[in-house]
Structure 1
Amino acid sequence: MFLESTDFVWEKIDENLERALIGFDDSLMQTIVRFKKGGIGYLHHHFHSQCAFIAKGSFEVQIENEKKILSAGDSFFVPSELVHGVVCLEDGILVESFSPARKDFLS
C-alpha cells in the first residue's frame, strides 16, 4: 500500500513528541517520531526487536549502559529486551521499525 506524508495521522505523545504509524502487519511495524529539542524517549525495554534511523537532528542514544550521540543519517539497533532510550539534542525525526508489530501502539 502507498501512504503519502500528507496522510500521516499524528498521535501526540507529550509536549515534545508525536508519532505516526506508517505501515504495519503482525510481523513488522514502521513509525515516524517527531521530537522537539529536549524531547525524551525514556529508558524502557520490550520484547520487540527495534531498528531506528535518524532522519533529522541529533540524539543522545542509550542502549543498556552505553551512550552515543548520533545524527541525521545514523541508525541504531536494539535487540529484544535491552533497556534503551533517547534524548533529542536538536529538533529531530526518528524512523523506527519493530518486529513483531507493537500492538500497544494500536490501542
Structure 2
Amino acid sequence: MFSSQRFIEDSAIAWEPVGEGVTRKIMAYDAHLMLVKVAFEKGAVGSLHHHHHSQGTHIASGVFEVEIAGEKKQLKAGDAFFIPSNEVHGVVCLEAGMLIDVFSPVREDFLPRQ
C-alpha cells in the first residue's frame, strides 16, 4: 500500500470535505506513514477523538486551541504538537488556518474504499 507518486504537486490533489468548515488533502502515504493537509475555517472544530496511530502535527497557518488528554493550549503558525497512540485530542480553529498531520501507521480509514 503506497501513494503512486514520489513527487506531489499540491494543485493535482482535490480538497475533500470532512466536516463543517474542514477539508483535507491526503498528500502521501505508505503502510507506515501518512502525510495529510487539513484546512480549517475560523470556528471549525476537530471534535475530540482518539485512534491507535501516533500523530505529529505542524501548524502551517492560523491559530488553534488544541486539547490533548484534557490539557488545552493555544498554538499558532510555526508551532507543533504530538499525540501518542490512543490519547483523546481535538482542536478548535480560532483563526482560519491549516494543519499538516503526519500519522504512523497509515490512517486506512482515510483511504477510499475499494
Correspondence 1:76 to 2:81: yes
For structure 1, the residue ranges without an aligned partner over 5 or more in a row are none
1:99 counterpart (95, 99, 104): 104
> Per-residue deviation at 1:13?
1.0
In structure 2, what is the Cα distance between the partners aligned to 1:92 and 1:82?
23
In structure 1, what is the Cα distance between the partners aligned to 2:10 and 2:108?
22
Q: TM-score, normalised by structure 1?
A: 0.98
In structure 1, what is the Cα distance between the partners aligned to 2:101 and 2:61?
13
Match of 1:25 in 2: 30
- Superposition pairs for residues 1-107 of structure 1, below 5 Å? 1-107=6-112
In structure 2, what is the Cα distance between the partners aligned to 1:19 and 1:88?
15
In structure 2, what is the Cα distance between the partners aligned to 1:9 and 1:102?
18
For structure 2, the residue ranges without an aligned partner over 5 or more in a row are 1-5
Q: TM-score, normalised by structure 2?
A: 0.92
In structure 2, what is the Cα distance between the partners aligned to 1:24 and 1:9?
16
> Per-residue deviation at 1:14?
2.3
TM-align CA RMSD = 0.7
SS at match of 1:41: strand
**Normalized per residue, which structure has more strand?**
1
Identity %: 52
